[in-house]
Chains A and B, each alone.
Chain A
Amino acid sequence: MNDSERLPDLLAPEDEPAPTRGLSIGSWVLIGGVAVFALVILVALLRQSQTQPTSGQAPDFTITTFDGAPFNLAAQRGNVVVVNFWASWCAPCRDEAPLLEQLWQDYRDRGVVVVGVAYSDVDSNSQAFIREFGITYPNGPDTGTRISKNDYHIIGVPETFIIDQQGNIRRFFFQVLPDTGRGDDDLFVRIGSVRATIDALLAEGETPS
C-alpha cells in the first residue's frame, strides 16, 4: 500500500552506465505496483458507492428477536416480507412504528411478515420503544451491525425493503417520511404505496406465472 516499500534504490546514485531505451524490470514492477494500488482504490470506491439493493435475491440474515426466538429470512420463503431497519433514537421511526404495526395487523393472515431490525440501538431502549408503540411483529438487534451495513448498505434509519415470496427484493423505501418534516400527508401516501406493493405481490402469488 505504501510507496516507500517500492522505492528502495531510487536515492542511490545510479550504477548502470549504459542508457537503455526501454524501461527496466524494476521500473515495470514499480509501475505495476502503482497500477495495483490504483485498482484497489477503484474497487474500494465502487464498493463504497454500492447502494441499497433494489432488486435481486435479498441477502439472507438471521436475528434473535427480543423475545429470544430466532428469525431467519430464508425461512420466510412463500411470504411477502417487509424488512424495516429502525432505531429508538431515530425520530422518523417513531412516526413510522404505528403504521407498520397497523400494516402487520392488517396483513399478517394473508402471508405477509413484517420484521424490524434495530440498527445501532441499545437493547433496553429498543424494547422500551417496542412497548411504547405496542409493536407485535418480530424485532431483533443487528448484532455487529453486519446486516444493515454489509448486506443492505443502509445509510440511515428508517429504511424499508419489501421482499417477495421468492425472496427477491421488489421495492426499497429510502425514507418513509420526506425529510422536510412537514409532510404528514406524504407519510400516508408512502404507506399507501407500501400497501399497494404488497397487494400487487400477493396478487402475483395467487396467479403463478
Chain B
Amino acid sequence: MELIEHLGLGLATAITWANLLYCLIGVFVGTLIGVLPGLGPTATIAMLLPVTFALPPISALIMLAGIYYGSQYGGSTTSILVNIPGEAASVVTCLDGYQMARQGRAGVALTTAAIGSFFAGTFATFLIAFFAPGLSAMALKFGPAEYFSLMVLGLVAATVLAQGSLLHAIGMVVLGLLLGLVGTDVTSGAQRFTFDIPQLADGIGFVVVAMGMFGLTEITRNLEREGSRSIIAKITSLMPTKEDWKRMVAPILRGTIIGSAVGILPGSGSILGSFAAYSVEKKVSKNSAQFGKGAIEGVAAPEAANNAGAQTSFIPMLTLGIPSNPVMALMVGAMIIQGIQPGPSVITEQPALFWGIIVSMWIGNLFLVILNLPLIGIWVRMIMIPYRLLYPAILVFCCIGVFSLKNTEADVYFMALFGALGYLFSKLDCEPAPMLLAFILGPLMEEYLRRAMLLSRGSPWVFVQRPISAVLLGLAVLAMLAVLLPSFSKTREEAFRE
C-alpha cells in the first residue's frame, strides 16, 4: 500500500542521526518552554527562526515542530504542580491536575498526562499520514477564488475561536491585514505605507511582529502581577492504580478525537480542543461530580486533546499551505525562508520533507514520553527559577535574534513598538493571535483576490459561483452566526472564563 511506502520514506528521512538529534533538541526545548510560564512556542519559534537558516530544511522543520508539540507536554507539568498553566492550552489541566497534586497524586497526574499525550500524538500522526495526500490532491484543484475563501474561513475561524470580544478580534484581523500590506506591492511595484523608510521596503518582518507581540508583550504582562509561586515539589509514586488505568482509557480516546478534529480547524490549534474535551468529558463521565476536585478524567481528556490538536494543526499547513494558528504561520515563514513554497505541491515535490516531518512527529512523541517522566526533577527545578531572572534573558535572546534577521537596528525598534502595541491591545481585550495570522495572510489574500477578480473579469460573484469557494464562505458565515447566537456565546464566554 502506498501509505507504507510513504511512511518508509519518512522513516528513512527521520532516523538519520542528525534529524534524530534535532528532533530531540526540539522536543527538549519545547518541554522546557512549556514548563516555564511566560515563554510560549510562538515567541520561541520566532526566536529560533534565524538559527534555522543555517540548518537543512528538513532538520529545521523537524526541530521547530518538536518545539510546538513538546510545549504541550511541558505545559501540563506546571499546571499540575504549580496551578499555573505553562501553556495556554494547559489551563484546563490546572483544574483537576493541581487538585490531584494536592492529594498527593501529582505523579499519577503527570503520568496520565504523558500517556494521554502519547496516545493522542500517535493517533494524530496516523491521521495526518492517512488524509494528507487526499487533501493535497483535492487542493490542487483550487483556484485563486478557492484560496481566497479558504483564507477568509481561516481568519473568521480565528476570530470565532479567539478569546476576548468578537468585534475586537475582527478588528484585529483587519488591522493585521493592513499591516501586512506595508511594503512594496509586488504587482504594481508601489511602495505602500513605507513613509520612505528603506527598512520598510520589504514590509515589516513577521518574526519582528511575532517576537514583539508574543515575546515582549508577554513579559510586560507578567510584570503586572509578580508573586511567588508555591510548588508541590514532593512527588511520590508515578504509577497509576488499576482503577486509574480503567478510568483514563475512555477520556483519552474521546479527548484524542475531539482534539484532532478541532485542531484541523483554522484558528485554534490546541487550546479549544482541550476546553472542548474537558467540557464533553464532564458531561459524559460517571464521575462528573469529582471534576474540579481531582478527577483523573479531567487530566486525561484535555491533555490528549491538546496534543492531538497540536499535531493535526499541521494538516492545513502541510497540505494547503494555509496556517491555522500563529505557530503554523511561523512554520510557513520558515519554509519560505528555506526556499520551499508551502502548498499542495509540497507533498509531491518534496516527499522526503513531507513524510520525514510526519514520522518525526511520532518519534518526537516517543522521546517526550521517555523524557518527561524521569526528568521530572529537572523540570521542577526549572519552575523554581524566579521570573525576575528569566525575563531579561528572554529579552536578550529576542533582541539579538531580531537583529540578526537583517542586521538592522530598525527591526529592534519595530519589535519594541509591537511589544508596546501588543500590551496595549491585550489590556483592551484584543487578541494578538488573529492579528498575526492576518498579518501573514494579508499579502497572499490580496494576491488571490486580484487574480480571482482578473479571471472573473471584475465580477465579485465568482466567490459564490464556484462550488468549493461557496462552501468555504458558507462555513465562514455559519461560524460567525453561531458565535452571535446568544446560547453559543455564553458557552464560549464560560469556557474562556474557566
Are A and B physically bound partners?
A: no
Which chain A residues have a beta carbon within 8 Å of chain B's beta carbons? none
